[in-house]
Amino acid sequence: MNDFGLWNVFSFGPGGWGPAMAKATLMTLAVAITGFFVGAVIGALGAWAKISGSRAVRAAADGYTTVLRGIPDLLVIYLFYFGSSAVLTPLARFFGASGFFSLPAFLAGALAIGIVSGAYHTEVLRGAYWSVARGELEAAIAVGMSRSLAFRRIIVPLTLRYALPGLGNIWQLVLKESSLISVTGLVEILRQAQVGAGSTRQPFTFFLAAAILYLVISSVTGWATQRAESHFTRGLRRE
């Protein structure tokens, strides 16, 4: 009788898969964090484009958010991973190299997640900006602040305050999207669970362990987001 169970999956002792699962968990966090911050940068630019850009810039931002929120995330990952090979492989052959060339799996995955999450960041930040009372900016200018100083000290902090709940939801989305990177061969939680399941013929045990790890990460980061939201909304009247 095979007594292989969750203890063996999380064990760091002989025959345990703990080190491999821990390494995979760190990889998942690295991909998710990188993708989230790439998306945040893109989202800030997208929000600015929708708020302050010209008609052509606003149209481009609208097209970006419409397309990226309308196609499957897995398709975007495939386009980045295999699309990069369509460019890099001929380029490498031009310089005399041979073989298959593409972006590293981590980079392709993080960029794909960042591009997708950037569309959601754009809408969250745009909505948060419009939630800031115009009187806040008018009062800052009335006391002598320049528009750039008022933007840094008033608009940005208040926008982030209103955006926190939405940003927390985007993080949870990005965390789950990171599991799709397994299709590129990057060994994160889901890919490591697949490897373990194939090696031990215990798929339920490993996929249950993967579910537990994702749940722990999402619960801890969700708690941290709620704490941050409570801290930065102190004194804010709730309707």
Position 237 confidence tier, pLDDT thresholds 50, 70, 90: low
SS3 185: coil
Q: What tens digit of pLDDT does each residue of 149-175 get? A: 887 888 888 888 889 999 999 999 999
pLDDT surpasses 80 at 14 = yes
Task: Supply the pLDDT for residue 1.
Answer: 39
Length reported for the chain: 239
pLDDT tens digits, 117-157: 999 999 999 999 988 877 777 787 788 787 788 878 888 88
Residue 116 lies in a domain: yes
- Give the distance from CA 1 to its chain's centroid: 42
> Would 45 be classed as within a structural domain?
yes
Does 2 map to a domain?
A: no
Residue at 217 is within a domain: no
Domain-embedded: residue 82: yes
Give the residue-averaged pLDDT of 62-68: 94
Inside any domain, residue 143 = yes
Residue 166: CB atoms within 10 Å = 16
Q: What is the pLDDT of residues 180-205, one digit of tens each?
A: 998 888 999 999 999 999 988 889 99
Instruction: Count the helix, strand and coil residues of the chain and give each as a percent rounded to the nearest 5.
Output: 80, 0, 20
Instruction: Say what angle helices 105-131 and 55-70 make with each other, to 10 degrees.
Output: 120
Residue 189, token pair as written in the block: 């939680």
Indicate the number of domains in the chain: 1
Chain mean pLDDT for the chain: 87
171 within some domain:
yes
- CA-CA-CA-CA torsion for 214, 190, 38, 66, nearest 10 degrees? -90
Rounded CA-CA distance 229/132 in Å is 16
Q: For residues 122 and 38, give the distance between their C-alpha atoms in angstroms, rounded to a whole number.
A: 12
Instruction: Round to whole Å and give the CA distance between 175 and 217.
Output: 9
69: CATH: 1.10.3720.10
| Pair 31, 190: CB distance under 8 Å | no
What range does the domain containing 126 cover?
26-188
